[in-house]
Homo-oligomer: A and B are copies of this chain.
Amino acid sequence: MKLIKNAAGRLVPTEVNGKKVIPYKGVNKYKPTGNKYGAKIKSCTDYPDNGNKVAKNLREALKKAGLKNGMTISTHHHLRNGDVLTNILFDTIKKMGIKNIRWFPSASFPVHEHLIKYLDDGTIHHIEGSMNGPLGRYTSEGKMKGVGVLRSHGGRYQSIQDGYVHVDIAVIAAPTADPFGNATGDRGKSACGLLGFALADSEYADSVIVVTDNLIPFPCSPWQIQGNNVDYVVEVESLGDPAKIVSGTTHVTKSPDRLLIAEYVADFLEHSGILKDGFSFQAGAGGTNLAFALYLKEKMIKKNIKARFIRGGSTKYLVEMLEEGLTDYILDGQTFDLEGVRSMRENSGHLNTSPFTSYNFHGKGNFASMLDAVVLGATEVDINFNANVVTHSDGYLLHGIGGWQNCMFGKTVILAIPSFRDRIPVIVDEVTTLVAPGKLVDVIVTERGIAINPKRKDLLKAVEGSGLPIKPIKEIYKEVNDICGGKPAKPKVNKDEVVAIIKWVDGTVIDSVFKVEKKYY
């Protein structure tokens, strides 16, 4: 495999899985040309007049959709670690004797470890999509036939929209649907909230199969997925394990260090002047992020400040803020707990968003760049503010990108991270995998202090005299190395063997993930 250095100085291939790829050119440097993909024109004469598209079972639907060797099949991670459907899907494909599928999930989870046997036996050729846990480890060890391709949520939408990835068959798990194919995730026994990650697939795939365990009479409302984009509807007894689809409750961190980080972030927003009436922020559903939201909420109440909108990963904590009038809107990209699902169903201020509205970089703007403050995590950050969210310092690919790269376009991007984990520094001299360039990272908040990117002179000035523990990043770096007894060991990887590539939001390749030679945990 021929590797070249891209604009970030990273070694990347120029061809992946038999298709040319463009090396990363720098932030805002690559301009797309041409037109969006146009799906095949269909005719109502080929669909039932009465709107009933129900197929007998998944096998029949796949057969009608013309399933063949080598096709691209997409699925979505709305059911998270409770997803049973995807495993059944590939059991079915295996039974049908089909081989060499490119699996194109929006993300995969530990539950999909079940699919390793299909990667082994050639049913699945390779995965393009985030690989959390076991499939990432499998890929890291060079066992997958093709090369993994990791895209952000926005990058996934962009790749389909631009026609770079052609989806033959999209299989959409729908907690509620009607026989025409209208579907929603906000109700039903497998309720997961929204179905936004399947939007691009529903619009552009050759064939779209909606699978539901709650078939209701037309019309299913809201129609998060529009039946006019759907070919077949399949009824199953169960899509998965409700307890693993959404949490009953989400939990705030109890770690004193993480709580300190969360408090620092909230303090930073206050002292920097970002916290003001009509502001907006995004916070995920991790324990630190939840704690941050609670600290921020206290400040908002004390100062009588209302947000115009909050973007989330919605949880009961954000829902409470909406219901208590602390924000006009939640712009929800993924629903994490039962209260989030309830709110989405009931509250007209709880808005469904999608990778199209929020993250697609090849659109006429998107929501991500409008955020006043975005709080994210990372697996590593380096002294040039470059950040990694997919690999660990040992080289293992264990996490997906999600909307993380897309959120880098927020007005102030804050990485809230512990300075070390398991005695391995998180602040490093160079990230193992470059997932976001340092010029987009504004602030790094650790339990040992806050580092502001020197290019953000405005922020440095705003927090002068605030009493916040502002430090140069190199100072935190040194402290952490001292505590941990030095830098992390260099990952033992084979630089000749690329097992996965990381795409930037514009579809260019920002970095490679290399085969790990030695498994040391």
Interface residues of chain A, those whose CB is within 8 Å of chain B, are 28, 31-45, 47-51, 53, 161-163, 180-181, 208, 217-219, 221, 223, 226-231, 278, 308-309, 329, 331, 348-349, 351, 356-357, 360-367, 369-370, 409, 411, 506
Contact = CB atoms under 8 A, between A and B. Distances in A.
B221 A370 contact: no
A221 B352 CA distance: 10
Interface of A is mostly: loop
Contacts of A349: 221
B351 A41 contact: no
B51 A365 contact: yes
A308 B216 CA distance: 11
Contacts of A208: 364
A280 to B, nearest CB: 9
A45 B31 CA distance: 8
Closest 4 CB pairs of A and B: A36-B38, A47-B365, A35-B38, A38-B38
Contacts of A48: 365
21 contacts: A34-B40, A34-B41, A36-B39, A36-B41, A41-B161, A41-B162, A41-B362, A42-B363, A44-B364, A44-B365, A49-B365, A49-B369, A49-B370, A49-B409, A51-B367, A181-B364, A218-B309, A227-B357, A227-B365, A228-B364, A229-B364
B369 A51 contact: yes
A221 B329 contact: yes
A177 B218 CA distance: 31
A47 B409 CA distance: 13
A365 B180 contact: yes
A363 B219 CA distance: 17
Nearest to A158: B41
Contacts of A348: 221
A28 B35 CA distance: 30
A228 B351 contact: no
A485 to B, nearest CB: 42
A433 to B, nearest CB: 24
B365 A219 contact: no
